[in-house]
Amino acid sequence: MAYRDINKKRAYYRAWSLNHRELLKTYRDKWRITHEKEIKAYGVKRNKRLKHDCLMAYGGAFCVCCGEKNEMFLTLDHKNNDGAAHRRQIAKLAGYAFYSYLRVQKFPQTLGLQVCCYNCNCGKNANGGLCPHKGDWA
């Protein structure tokens, strides 16, 4: 059907979609099966970009303690060691869901986040909030 009025065209397609949900689901499922590799590659690329954006928003892509620069090792750390309490507040978001939450919130600086490598982050947890790099471990 050729519609000159864009609103009529949209209404027609909206009604058609509602009446043909099963057919559209079948098409969508077939498309996802045949494009599985592209979908996965897009997700990996999107997640890397999301993590990079978060790291840059909270101080840059390097560990504030040891200077590690490989983004695969970097993560966000709560400066005040109140990450568990913060996760309880925001429905236990972690990983890329947490990064997405930060992006939606426009990377709030009031959360007390910093960039740490995973070693320093875990070391702080095991050592009462002090990174082993900063302790006297002679």
The reported pLDDT for the residue numbered 136 is 63
Within the chain, how many helices (H) and strands (E) appear?
6, 2
The reported pLDDT for the residue numbered 1 is 62
d(Cα 40, Cα 34) in Å, to the nearest integer? 12
d(Cα 61, Cα 52) in Å, to the nearest integer? 7
Reported as a single tens digit per residue, the pLDDT across 59-68 is: 999 999 888 9
Q: Which tops the pLDDT comparison, 59 or 130?
A: 59
* pLDDT, averaged across the chain: 88
Average pLDDT over residues 32-56: 95
Average pLDDT over residues 99-110: 91
Is the pLDDT at 137 greater than 60, yes or no? Answer: no
